[in-house]
Structure 1
């Protein structure tokens, strides 16, 4: 058990290290090169670098601003989340600042702002997702969102970040212009969607509710031919005033067509409701470790 916990901790830190490296690539080689402020303390660092161009050659480096702004958040995080929360946040922030300082900057998107928004949004979204999967943050608005999410649990961390980053994008609009700010909004949207997908799970399935007059026949066929479990839920048809057995089943995306065909072959009058589900834990889907 101790060895498993130790291995899991190493994996968490590895995801944080790799995630921050990807974030640094997006910030250095896409957003900073394109003059695109996508939010976060890294966005503020890009603004500060632009504002200080005339004072310091090249402006204040991104990693210095990013590191300096995080000090108050670490103090708040230690008070609210405890040392364990701050420990991984500190690792994430140090790693991000390190990668920002040492990784060379390449103009990945050239002068194409749309490519910059897409490349940067996807790369940074994957990076942020990895960091959160490693149960850490990189400080900045990431850590701020993680702290706020403890009180606003009906919002995801990525959604809270989207709101905060939007305010920073508005400031960037006055510095780099409306056009780049509009493309930055596309990048922020992609960051949110990609990181949200990684946090909530990438394995999608389908759930089906089946209202039928032949529940036994259909459930038997599903369990035998599709090898999927079925749950019967007792209900009552309010129009017919008859008791019914509602069937509930979760299948893989590729199996939903076979499920509908199977139901239709047994009871053409059956009522089938299909919707998406995400990250199904249990036998036949994602095994618990």
Structure 2
């Protein structure tokens, strides 16, 4: 799916729209009616809406706050991430604000806070994952998280976002009490897990080492049937003290079964090691994009 959407700008923007619709649904249909502050600009917007309702009927709309609070963060994105990133982020932020405007505020979980934490977390996490998949941001704290990720690449964006939103959730205790904040923490955790799973799942692959005396036949068959590159690594068997060739190959999750079948059919005594690969960049997998 990722390859298909990357081929056209239309598919790229459709992912952003779909993601922001899911995120807006989690806010207007779950969090706002139950006054759950799950972090981010939308979380702060819920607090601002509540506070300003004293002077303004209904308070300042969440969609309007979302736009106003993102202005300084756009300046940071311009300096750190560049024009291309800012263009996508602008589209995503506007898309989220429009979605927040058109989706009505309604309690679909009927005041069930546990259901709200789970369902809201799944909706928001799925939406966030789709947006991040396009290397975009909806602004707010996730924009801040992506800026931090530029300097701390060994942490995933959802992990950084969890820390930032966690601090905002703690601030929400003052406005709405401890009970709601505790449920909000559950929602933040689920959101991070779901979005992380979407990002990592799209890059997930399998790495196989094959040790066999018939390495040449196995390599040729793998390249023929799977159209994957195979690397021969020189190795020495410490028991036999003989030089061997160990095949190294990275394939998709579906292809690992075929690779194993090929190796075993050629050499039933082949020694095969399979492990998970978190991310693969290169020909046949995800292309690198700055």
Q: TM-score, normalised by structure 2?
A: 0.80
- State how far apart, in whole Å, the 1-side matches of 2:26 and 2:186 are: 14
Q: Which digits, 9 at most, give the CA deviation of each residue in 1:92-140, with x for residues without a partner? A: 2222222212221232222222322222222222222232333432111
Aligned equivalents of 1:184, 1:279: Cα separation in 2 = 31
Pairwise mapping of residues 1-289 of structure 1 onto structure 2 (< 5 A)? Answer: 8-202=8-202, 204-216=204-216, 218-219=218-219, 230-237=230-237, 241-254=241-254, 256-257=256-257, 259-260=259-260, 263=263, 266-268=267-269, 270-277=270-277, 282=283
1:106 to 1:260, Cα distance in 2 relative to 1, 3 A? same
Output the CA distance in 2 between the equivalents of 1:282 and 1:117: 40
How far apart are the structure 1 equivalents of 2:172 and 2:189? 16
Count, aligned residues: 280
Which whole-Å CA distance do the structure 1 matches of 2:257 and 2:158 have between them?
33
Contact 1:38–1:185, Cα closer than 8 Å, also in 2: yes
Quote the offset at 1:41 in angstroms. Answer: 0.8
Aligned-partner Cα distance in 2 for 1:34–1:204: 36
Indicate the SS of the match to 1:105.
Answer: coil
Report deviation, 1:10.
3.6
**Equivalents in 1 of 2:261, 2:81: separation in Å?**
51
Question: Counterparts of 2:117 and 2:93 in 1: how far apart (Å)?
Answer: 23
Judged with a 3 Å threshold, the aligned counterparts in structure 2 of structure 1 residues 249 and 100 are, in CA distance, closer, same or farther, namely: same
Moved more, 210-219 or 153-162: 210-219
Deviates more, 1:70-79 or 1:143-152: 70-79
Cα distance in 1 for residues equivalent to 2:101 and 2:251: 47
1:212–1:267 contact (8 Å) kept in structure 2: no
Q: Using a 3 Å threshold, how does the CA distance of structure 1 residues 286 and 49 change in structure 2: closer, same or farther?
A: closer
Encode CA deviations 1:48-84: one digit per residue, 9 max, x unaligned.
Answer: 2233343433333212322221121122222333443
Paired with 1:219 and 1:230, the residues of 2 have a C-alpha distance of: 6
